[in-house]
Structure 1
Amino acid sequence: MMMTLGMFVFETQSLPYQQLQRATQWRHPSQARVGQRPAYQFTGPGEDTIQLSGTLYPELTGGRMTLDDVRIMADEGKAWPLIEGSGRVYGFWSITSVTETSTVFFSDGTPRKIEFSISLIRVDDSNFQDFRDQAANNQDAAIGLGLYQPRRNGGGGSLA
């Protein structure tokens, strides 16, 4: 597993991305001043976007139906947790666009090569805190049932 967005799993057999590009902004609005340069004030985080792009070869990986699954998720307009295969949690993200370019076709018009790009935008962190709390509660419950063994050095753990 490379990454999950909600229940959608990015993996080499489904939708393997070859590039992940992230752009994070911070807000510094200006205030004009007479005879001086503008004054700037830091007002907090701005937009945080991720673009996943890659190439599909439907004979080996996912194809148009896989991209349609992502479009169905986007149609719902929801924010989804984005979690890397390493366990890194990026927060909650919404799908803002899906683009695809099909080339090299079979005689029936089915593409043999599909280049794609999926754009995501980070949304309110309040959902992320709820998600983090729920994960901590689930971990506590698993420890209580003897299903999870925390590591002694404080990092991660393993299922019993």
Structure 2
Amino acid sequence: MASLPTNTLSPAHLLTLGMFLFGIDAMAYSELSRRTSWRHGTSERFMARPASQYLGPGEDTITLAGLLVPEVAGQFVAIEIVKAMADTGEDYPLVDGLGRVLGHYRIMRLEETHRGIMGGGLPRAVDFAIELERVD
């Protein structure tokens, strides 16, 4: 197996959703959790356990969570871009920093917690969580 060049591993490029780049310059996440399920159909049987049959893949969701601190890394406008992408209702290819395509996902939920509120209501930092659902 060939090894990857070390210059492809960059904290500036963590993940890409469509044309949006998750990374230090825009919106870096510190946690990625993935929940994958598989479907099994069952039917009742008399005097026996239910019969089951594998039906295929089920839900596949990814949650990205992190802290946006524009003074250190990231930009507040990144949150607005993610909201605009979600408003379209479209799905986007999700590609990790090594170029592996993880599938097509749509944005299902965005949670924000503004912290350290300064004058004018501007937060010093924003905790965020983005939930993506696989659609392909």
TM-score range, shorter chain: 0.7 to 0.9
* Among 88, 111, 125, the residue aligned to 2:123: 111
Contact 1:13 1:60 in 2 (8 A): no
**Aligned counterpart for 2:36 among listed residues 9, 24, 43:** 24
Cα deviation for residue 119 of structure 1 reads: 0.5
Indicate the structure with greater strand content.
Answer: 2
Letter in 1 for 2:105: W
TM-score (norm 2): 0.87
Contact 2:25 2:75 in 1 (8 A): no
Question: 1:59 Cα deviation (Å)?
Answer: 1.5
- Identical-pair percentage: 44
RMSD (Å) for aligned C-alpha atoms: 1.0
Give the count of matched residue pairs. Answer: 124
Q: Distance in 1 between matches of 2:121 and 2:70?
A: 13
Deviation at 1:58, TM superposition (A): 2.1
TM-score, structure 1 length as denominator?
0.74
Paired residue for 1:42, among 22, 44, 54?
54
AA partner of residue 68 (structure 1): E
Shift of 1:122: 0.7
Match of 2:101 among 58, 66, 89: 89
* Letter aligned with residue 41 of structure 1: Q
Larger relative contact order, structure 1 or 2 (CA cutoff 8 Å, min sep 6): 2
Q: Specify the alignment match of 2:25 in structure 1.
A: 13
What are the ranges of 5 or more consecutive residues in structure 2 without an aligned counterpart?
Answer: 1-12
Structure 1 gaps of 5+ residues are 125-160
Larger radius of gyration: 1
Structure 1 residue 104: deviation in Å? Answer: 0.9
Q: Which amino acid is the alignment partner of residue 36 of structure 2? A: T
Letter in 1 for 2:121: G
